[in-house]
């Protein structure tokens, strides 16, 4: 079974700062997802990637398959980015395995 580790667990940043959240997994994967969960519970899928890099607005996700590691970057952070960010992986055709999440607070 895949083990997914995220770091840091909690992160507080000043508005405008560049933020990096890391995710490591133990077994080869089919795809890795970055999810965002706001207070109240709703989850939004930010990225799904299996190689390279993806960018959407101020968010960038990268993955290194050889090192079994992915990063989520937020440029010019804003208080509305405050949320829990969750990394999740698929191995083969198996269900998602989730990390514990990173709680981000961006202070104005």
Partner 1 sequence: KAGVTQTPRYLIKTRGQQVTLSCSPISGHRSVSWYQQTPGQGLQFLFEYFSETQRNKGNFPGRFSGRQFSNSRSEMNVSTLELGDSALYLCASSSGALSYNEQFFGPGTRLTVL
- Give the residues lining the site for partner 1 (CB under 8 A): 30-31, 33, 35, 40-45, 48, 86, 88, 90, 93-101
- Strands, sheet with 52-56, edge to edge from the N-terminal-most edge strand: 4-7, 19-25, 69-74, 59-64, 52-56
Cβ-based nearer residue to partner 1, 50 or 64: 50
Cβ-based nearer residue to partner 1, 17 or 27: 27
Closest CA to 83 of 25, 35, 47: 35
Residue position matching structure tokens 């706001």: 38
DSSP annotation of 60: E
Q: To the nearest whole angstrom, how small is the minimum distance from the Cβ of residue 47 to partner 1?
A: 9
Q: To the nearest whole angstrom, how small is the minimum distance from the Cβ of residue 37 to partner 1?
A: 9
Q: To the nearest whole angstrom, how small is the minimum distance from the Cβ of residue 91 to partner 1?
A: 9
């Amino acid at each position: 079974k895949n083990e997914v580790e995220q770091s840091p667990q909690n992160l507080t940043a000043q508005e405008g700062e560049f933020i990096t959240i890391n995710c490591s997994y133990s077994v080869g994967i089919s795809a890795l997802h970055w999810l965002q969960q706001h207070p109240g519970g709703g989850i939004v899928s930010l990225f799904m990637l299996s190689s390279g890099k993806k960018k959407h607005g101020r968010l960038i996700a990268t993955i290194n398959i050889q090192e079994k590691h992915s990063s989520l970057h937020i440029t010019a952070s804003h208080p509305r980015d405050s949320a829990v960010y969750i990394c999740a992986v698929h191995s083969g055709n198996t269900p998602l395995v989730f990390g514990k999440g990173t709680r981000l607070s961006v202070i104005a």
